[in-house]
Amino acid sequence: DIIRGRDLWEHQDMKKLQEHLDKIFKKIRDTIPDIKTKYSDPDGITTLRNDWWTANRDQIWRAITCEAPFDADLYIPTTDGKTRAWKGYQCGRSTNYVPVDDYIPQRLR
């Protein structure tokens, strides 16, 4: 949510973080000529942040779980209402699983 600019916590620290992320993504946009025009409209930075997240979310998940202990468990809710636990996979690092709950609005998680 922070990367995509949809975080609900509105306080000074978050405002500074959002401004900093905007600077970073503007720099990315201005550095890569092919995307400069695609993301030039007023909502361009937000769109770029969303596109970046879509392209990199699996790598972020791997980075988050890379130091998980070998015996850490990953609990995945299934559509039938049961929860499945994976054991010995270092929380998803050895699988193709990437959590999809980042698409659920933060206030509903």
How confident is the model at residue 18, as a pLDDT?
83
What the block records as the tokens of 30 is: 């201005």
Arithmetic mean of pLDDT over the chain? 75
Query: Residue 73: pLDDT above 80?
Result: no
Domain ranges of the chain: 12-67
How confident is the model at residue 6, as a pLDDT?
62
DSSP string, 17-85: HHHHHHHHHHHHHHH-HHHHTTT-STTHHHHHHHHHHHHHHHHHHHHHHTT--TT-EEEEE-TTS-EEE
Of 31-35, 48-52, 104-108, the range with the lowest mean pLDDT is 104-108
Query: Residue 13: pLDDT above 80?
Result: no
pLDDT band with cut points at 50, 70 and 90 for residue 5? low
Q: What pLDDT, in 10s, does the model give residues 38-70?
A: 898 888 888 998 899 888 888 887 777 777 676
Q: Does the pTM of the predicted model rise above 0.75?
A: no
